[in-house]
Structure 1
Amino acid sequence: MTSFVTVGAGWRAEMFWRIAEGLDGVDCVGAVVRTPRRLAVPAFASLAEVEADFVVTAVSWEANPGVITEAVERGLPVLAETPPAKDAAALRELWAAVGESGLVQVAEQYLLMPAHAARAAAVRRGLIGAPSQVQVSSTHMYHAVAMIRGLLGAGRGPVTVRSTRTTAPLVNPLTRDGWTDDAEPHPATTTLATLDFGAGLSGLYDFTDNQWHNQLRFRRLLVRGSHGELRDDEVVRLTEPRTVVRSPLVRRQTGYDLDLDGFDTDTITLGGDVLYRNPYPGRRWSDEEIAIATLLDATATWVRGEGPAPYPLADGAQDHLIALAIDESAVTDRSVTTAVENWA
């Protein structure tokens, strides 16, 4: 059994505790909190009081670097919630403090979600040829950048960003807290940005306020390649010199109609090929829960020296650096080119 402790006790930490209960090889031994309180797991006042194999940081952007550094100084591997630091200066300071340790991973889970994992598998298999552009409209900042970089296979070199922002009325029926029961439009800001990675690789970032929860905005994903493209759950590609084929990605979800196996994700397929198979059948988990479980399992495997690093600090830092450039370009109304950083 590989054990971890969270630093923090907010909603994100609670998700890690709860999901760990459903994993066979991972155990949460408690949470480090500043003030004593009753929690679903044992509470500790400091990392010095805890024996664990790794640490999950679930604290504020400002506090994250200090917690990460303390854990590394104690020789503990870290899975740091996103982003690992607040701004570019803090990212550089964090890298200088712990980057060479090799002990820090970032909890970037988006490409581990079943639908995205299936899409990434289709791209890796070369079904649309060499990918050249990714367009994402679903999530914000570093998460969207991670999806763009991951699907393109882009590295950590300089990126030129050009952003614009517009504001328009939009009804906001849902938030993280649930239904708002408000049918009146309110001003919502949309950020559009182009990302030029060089070598013919590019991205389009499109995010509207509260798009995570607002079901009045579709989530969209497009991956363009040399031999076709993937649009959401459909692939168009050239299979022979005079043959263009359109194929759907089909998700098998149990529990509908007379399927009595219970509500669960089974597979995502393209024709006769399985692109994704749920590694946690019977748990009845959402896509987000499956992704976090996959990340926890991968981190535990890495900590035991039995698998690759799930998402190194260098990648998490690069994602947030580009996300910061998106914001800077929108605010200044000019192009921003990121530097080649020490983590590159």
Structure 2
Amino acid sequence: MTEQQGAGRRVVSPAQTTASVRTRGLERPPRSRYAVIGSGWRSTVYLRLAHLLPEVFEATGVLTRRSESTERIDRDFGVRTHGTVEALLAADRPDFVVLSVPWPVTPELTRTLVAAGVPVLAETPPAPDLDGMRSLWADVGASGLVQVAEQYAFMPLHAARLALTREGLIGTPGSVQISSTHLYHVVAMMRAFLDVGREPTAVASRTFTAPLVDPITPQGWTHDLEQKRARTILSTIDFGGDRMGLYDFTDGQWWNPVRPDHLTVRGATGEIHDETVVRMLDATTPVTSRIERAATGIGMNYEGLDLTHLSFEGRPVFRNRFAGAALSDDDIGTAELLARTGAWARQEGPAPYPLADGMHDHHVGIAIEQAAETGEVVRTGEEPWTAG
């Protein structure tokens, strides 16, 4: 559609959209350069972000040994592939390397990269089990070169809720209830909302089954409305100091549209439940407000469909630094993680989610499953990574 066909309305191209986003006062993060090891579904997220935001991210290369992956990566992203770690690093030294490989492979590649002095962003979890984590920590923990790819706290709605919680809007937080993703991801979010370190925990779990349809999978819509038995784990996590978490996860919940995400954080003077905030305005006035999403591309807006910010009572509490690329919430969270990892690797910013945190949260996640299997309270205590 031309400008004339648009009855005088300005039709915005993708390039113009990016330019218009900058006029909103948003600053793009400094450019980060990373290599990727792995060629599965999650790996393509990092390549796609570099493709969509070349002024912010550059994928310097990909390590894969599968010929079909080499052809696909070259065709879809134009990124050079390599067959060894040495070749990947020699071709174009990145700020850091993203590890997106199967769990058993992650520890060995982490050791290899740390030995080469390369900062690492390892997909979760950093090792499959407790013994594997202890061994990996003994080898690389002191290096300070490893971050873990935990993006959930950087997703727009979670980031907005965290901002409101941390400014004291609902008073001192005492509990968090999450029904969303699984295990270590949820533990990481709980600790963020409760401002909890790597202290010991006590975990109690129960499992239940109930009928549930499964209309969509990672492969697409199933067109199947047959009810199948699905397991739900309910767990309480006692973090100590009058702080607790309630974990509620049903098998396949990541994809199932009839099991949407829910998060409640309760504080001494109010609570945040999904997008609703209840708080005491003064000693006799409880008030209810909402976190609101603002997006372009709706109605007569021609800037393209994109999230711009989230607001609370008329003020922004989250701004999308990557507006103009039409990213999903998960992609925005991953982009923020990559930007912060790049800043950390260049010694320009703090660590976004260090290896010690990833190990602790996975340890608590393991305890959730152990408590479900045994019916007993499982405690996590002092480990090599819990100090500090």
- The TM-score bracket by the shorter chain reads over 0.9
Match in the other structure for 2:238: 196
Opposite residue 24 of structure 1, the aligned amino acid is E
Give, in whole Å, the separation in 2 of the partners of 1:87 and 1:143.
16
Give, in whole Å, the separation in 2 of the partners of 1:23 and 1:141.
33
Opposite residue 211 of structure 1, the aligned amino acid is Q
Give, in whole Å, the separation in 2 of the partners of 1:273 and 1:295.
24
Match in the other structure for 1:286: 328
Match in the other structure for 1:45: 83
Alignment of structure 1 residues 4-83 onto 2, 5 Å: 4-21=34-51, 22-36=53-67, 37-38=70-71, 39-40=73-74, 41-49=79-87, 50=89, 51-83=93-125
Opposite residue 57 of structure 2, the aligned amino acid is V
Of 276, 285, 295 in structure 1, the residue corresponding to residue 337 of structure 2 is: 295
Establish whether residue 153 from structure 1 lines up as the match of residue 195 from structure 2.
yes
Secondary structure of the equivalent of 1:262?
Answer: coil
Identical-pair percentage: 46
Match in the other structure for 2:269: 227
* 1:23 positional shift: 4.2
Secondary structure of the equivalent of 2:104?
Answer: coil
Give, in whole Å, the separation in 2 of the partners of 1:2 and 1:268.
26
Q: Cα deviation per residue 1:218-272 (whole Å; 9 max; x = unaligned)?
A: 2110000011100000110112111111110011122112222211101111102
Q: Cα deviation per residue 1:38-67 (whole Å; 9 max; x = unaligned)?
A: 223211111111232211000011111011
Whether the aligned pair in 1 keeps the contact of 2:344 and 2:350 (CA below 8 Å) is yes
**TM-score by structure 2 length?**
0.87
* 1:311 positional shift: 0.7
* 1:25 positional shift: 3.7
Q: Cα deviation per residue 1:73-111 (whole Å; 9 max; x = unaligned)?
A: 000000000111101111111111111100000000001
Of 284, 294, 313 in structure 2, the residue corresponding to residue 252 of structure 1 is: 294
Secondary structure of the equivalent of 1:63?
Answer: helix
Of 350, 372, 376 in structure 2, the residue corresponding to residue 330 of structure 1 is: 372
Unaligned runs of 5+ in 2: 1-30
Whether the aligned pair in 2 keeps the contact of 1:23 and 1:293 (CA below 8 Å) is no
Give, in whole Å, the separation in 2 of the partners of 1:205 and 1:26.
35
Unaligned runs of 5+ in 1: none
* 1:343 positional shift: 0.8
Match in the other structure for 1:304: 346
More helix by share: 2
* 1:3 positional shift: 2.1
Whether the aligned pair in 2 keeps the contact of 1:159 and 1:197 (CA below 8 Å) is yes
* Count of aligned pairs between the two proteins: 344
Give, in whole Å, the separation in 2 of the partners of 1:227 and 1:53.
44
**TM-score by structure 1 length?**
0.98
Superposition RMSD in Å: 1.1
Opposite residue 278 of structure 1, the aligned amino acid is N
